[in-house]
Structure 1
Amino acid sequence: MVELRLIAGVARTGAIGDGETIPWHYDADERQYKDRVADNPVVVGRKTHEGMSRIRGTHPVVVTGSPGEYDEDGATFVSTVPAAVDAVAAEGEVGYVIGGQSIYAMFLPYADRAYVSELPERQVASRVFPYLGTNWSVADRHEYDEFDVIEYENDDPLDPAKAPA
């Protein structure tokens, strides 16, 4: 069974970006992010995928409403949660959901873990990380000089195979 893990850098306001860029930069956060997702498939929305450079060693599973319209070497284009999970399973046992906002919300009920970098920023942005809900609990806290990474565990994840197609 595939384990889905959300990963995001989140400001105190809940902001994750403005739809075009991430309005902050922390070297240590970027390193820990890349170290976690390296050599794993990443589930990403089409707009986020188009706006970022590929992370070395990852296989992008790009969620879009029109998967047949896209073709890119080394990427898989899908339109549903079950199709994304199947694509992740073809590559390994763990997949990281890396955004954007609607993709986090879509995969939240099915995710087993979430790694949230709690950043000291107070920006208001048009894109926010979804509320995890009451079935999520703190499993671990990783402290860095400028921020913390909180590892959450979903106590009752839904079966992604039963997600709407």
Structure 2
Amino acid sequence: MTTPAGRRVTMVAALAENRVIGAGGKIPWHLPADFTHFKNTTMGHVLILGRTTHEGIGRPLPGRQTIVLTRDPDWSAEGVRVAADVPSALVLADELLEGAPVDKHVMIGGGGHVYKDAMPYADEQILSEVPMSPEGDAHYPEFSAKRWTEVRREPREGFTVVWWERVFACGGD
């Protein structure tokens, strides 16, 4: 499903074989090439992050308009917009993208709860698959192969980037 302004919603994540994306507020691997991939993929777009993920980064990422999700109505941070939930963040993203070129999208950058809540709104997933199974407390959500199709796979040093597109079917599941 695209946002009302016709923008695409793309989830961007790096996940281990056991779907772990984080441990204790940190990423349980160090892959500079994947950080570069995330930067290049999200640059120039609206980026939605959970509060914990944003605080783990420690600052707004340059070249992106950032919306931080939090249930704390008193929370704020310099250089970001705040929303209470994914639907509210998508409305705010549409406002930020009003008049922007059509190739500007809404990027979902984590963490685990944000990915789970955003999954019903996502049109695309760009997942860096990391060949390890670390312990962790944040996981990328499961998704149905009936609703998603792999459209591209690109091996990189230390990980593989996989592009998934939502399958839009008429009628039942």
TM-score where L is the length of structure 2: 0.84
1:87: Cα distance to partner?
1.6
Q: Which moved more, 1:42-51 or 1:84-93?
A: 84-93
Which SS does the other structure have where 1:106 is aligned? Answer: helix
Letter in 2 for 1:60: T
Cα distance, 1:70 vs. partner? 2.3
Percent identity (aligned): 26
Deviations 1:70-113 (A, max 9, x none): 23332111113221112211223411101111000000011000
Partner Cα distance (2:121, 2:88) in 1: 13
Distance 1:127 1:145 in 2: 24
Q: Please tell me the root mean square deviation across aligned C-alpha atoms, in Å.
A: 1.6
C-alpha distance in structure 1 between counterparts of 2:95 and 2:154, whole Å: 30
Q: Which runs of 5+ in 1 are unaligned?
A: 158-165
Matched-pair contact (CA < 8 Å) for 2:86–2:114? no
Cα deviation, residue 124, structure 1: 2.1
3, 7, 19: which one aligns with 1:2: 7
Write the distance in 2 (CA, Å) between the matches of 1:156 and 1:112. Answer: 9
Query: Contact 2:48–2:68 at 8 Å: present in 1 too?
Result: yes
Stretch of structure 1 that moved more, 47-56 or 96-105? 47-56
Q: Could you list the runs of 4 or more consecutive aligned residues of structure 1 that deviate by over 4 angstroms after TM superposition?
A: none
Q: Partner amino acid for 1:143?
A: P
Q: Does 1:116 align with 2:121?
A: no
Amino acid at match of 2:128: S
Measure the CA separation in 1 of the matches of 2:50 and 2:24. 11
d(CA) in 1 for partners of 2:168 and 2:118? Answer: 13
Return the TM-score normalized by structure 1.
0.88
Instruction: State yes or no: 1:60 paired with 2:32.
Output: no
CA contact (8 A) 1:117 1:149 kept: yes
Can you give the 5+ residue segments of structure 2 that lack an aligned partner in the other structure? 1-5, 98-103
Would you say the 8 A contact 1:44–1:61 is kept in 2? yes
Say whether 1:100 aligns with 2:105.
no
User: Aligned residue pairs: how many?
Assistant: 156
